[in-house]
Amino acid sequence: MKQLDRITVNTNVMGGRPCIRGLRMPVSRVLGMLAAGEREETILANHPDLEPEDIRQALLYAASLSDDPVIPLAG
């Protein structure tokens, strides 16, 4: 798996949420924009600090989290 060198976690930035390159741009915000149907080109135009690789790594980060095993809750 490609290293996620653009995803940073710092307790002093955005409450410790995973962000893009230490910017105040949480990974969840990038994913939310994509999920809402925004195109990569539009996101990059509206957020000039972001780069195409930032978006790819945000998706890769989300994919790695969704690969965790599911533990059923006792019911």
> Are 46 and 18 within 8 A, CB to CB?
no
In which band, very low, low, confident or very high, does the pLDDT at 11 lie, cut at 50, 70 and 90?
very high
> Are 31 and 43 within 8 A, CB to CB?
no
pTM metric for this prediction: 0.85
Chain position carrying tokens 């809402």? 36
- What local confidence, expressed as pLDDT, does residue 1 receive? 46
Tokens of 19: 């962000």
Strands (E) across the chain are located at 7-8, 19-20
Q: What percent of the chain is predicted at pLDDT more than 70?
A: 96
